[in-house]
Structure 1
């Protein structure tokens, strides 16, 4: 029996990268996964690939009304939501003093407001049942900063602080809220942000004590633990999965 047997789990940004790896891990641990992504085709592909009754649905986490509607649909279909993983994210690299405010809005809308929207919709349902686990994906950029990612770092720092506050507010109602901060992870998004440049890639690897980039599965394993009852006495925690790049 898997650690997430019979759990109903919503995973945002599940169409690719870390989100897809989380969906795959959850399914392997026995969960029924609702794979959510702004790209409905990739969400459906994730659901089809992992099986186990998984469902793929389109969701733009920046649209609060859409989040409420999809959450209600999931609740009607399954009767409960046991786990929420806020993984959807986006970034654009560049010096802050040369950045476009329109990009600020998009970065904050996806990375921070997306977490607020889903949490507002799902946490009351979890509190009614006195049970639930929320795992928010932030970033080590939100803990220690990252050159070229000022607004992203600010948004992810907000996710970390929000997660701690929600953990405090929800503790007596039952739901647990924790946060995972990936370090550099070998995904298509990372490549699109410059991670496919050999010199940058090698310099990052040299800076990481374990001497490799994270794989999406490394992040998924930690998320699955925090979502499971094995972590039943953990709430309000921020865990870096970075190969030792950050140890603060």
Structure 2
């Protein structure tokens, strides 16, 4: 039997667009409140007006150490508790490593890897104190396959796959489920950095999916009975050739 999300509190990072926004909408639709963390203050204000009282905007820049450290305490102050943490914010770098700006590598690893680890680290005392919680991380199929046209991005997602699966083992005896969703190419802002030829081919072949396909998967993971953990769900466009 599915577990109800009614009256639960979820904290979603990167919640102003793409998978994060689709997940926040889906959670609210299932009766939860969503603390929507994002650096885009204007978008958060607009979305809070659209989504109503169940949406709690939280302006956060995960690349700023102070803002990143303040996110969990701020969310707890505003919402009272955190039942679900969805670490979704991320960025993308494609192309050959030799053509990649080292500063962009730092930014990607700080957002895709370091911020996730910091956010999980910060929420664990709260969840263990309550004896319950769910942590979901947006990973990628690139975290399972060495994608040759995106070595930096793929490397960051392999790191996250390892982190999620080790944390699942650390926390599963404390009432906290940890899992990841690993999409193929999703129509979102991240695709703006895709190599143009790869994007053109993906569009022509129908190898892209909508963010709502991923939020559906996340809701499935979160609504399983507590004795069930979906440790990873790979969601691919049917025509995606990997």
Q: Are positions 1:216 and 2:211 aligned together? A: yes
Q: How does 1:56-205 map to 2 (within 5 A)?
A: 56-194=57-195, 199-202=200-203, 204-205=205-206
Q: How many Å separate the matches in 2 of 1:173 and 1:2?
A: 18
Q: How many Å separate the matches in 2 of 1:45 and 1:163?
A: 32
Q: Which moved more, 1:88-97 or 1:173-182?
A: 88-97
After superposition, the C-alpha distances for 1:96-145 in whole angstroms (9 at most, x for unaligned) are 12222111101101101111111011122111100100110011111102
The aligned residue for residue 51 of structure 2 is: 50
Q: Which moved more, 1:234-243 or 1:76-85?
A: 234-243
**Displacement of 1:204:** 5.0
**Displacement of 1:244:** 4.7
The 3-state SS of whatever aligns with 1:222 is: helix
Q: How many Å separate the matches in 2 of 1:105 and 1:133?
A: 28
Gaps of 5+ in 2: none
Q: How many Å separate the matches in 2 of 1:126 and 1:141?
A: 29
Gaps of 5+ in 1: 206-211
Q: Which moved more, 1:42-51 or 1:212-221?
A: 42-51
Q: Is the 8 A contact 2:185 2:209 kept in 1?
A: yes
Residues 195 and 56 (structure 1), Cα distance of their counterparts in 2 relative to 1, 3 Å cut:
farther
Q: Which moved more, 1:11-20 or 1:59-68?
A: 59-68
Q: Which moved more, 1:39-48 or 1:107-116?
A: 39-48
**Displacement of 1:234:** 3.5
The aligned residue for residue 242 of structure 1 is: 236
Equivalent residues, number: 241
What CA RMSD, in Å, does the superposition of the two structures yield over aligned residues?
2.4
The 3-state SS of whatever aligns with 1:47 is: helix
**Displacement of 1:185:** 1.0
Q: How many Å separate the matches in 2 of 1:5 and 1:79?
A: 15
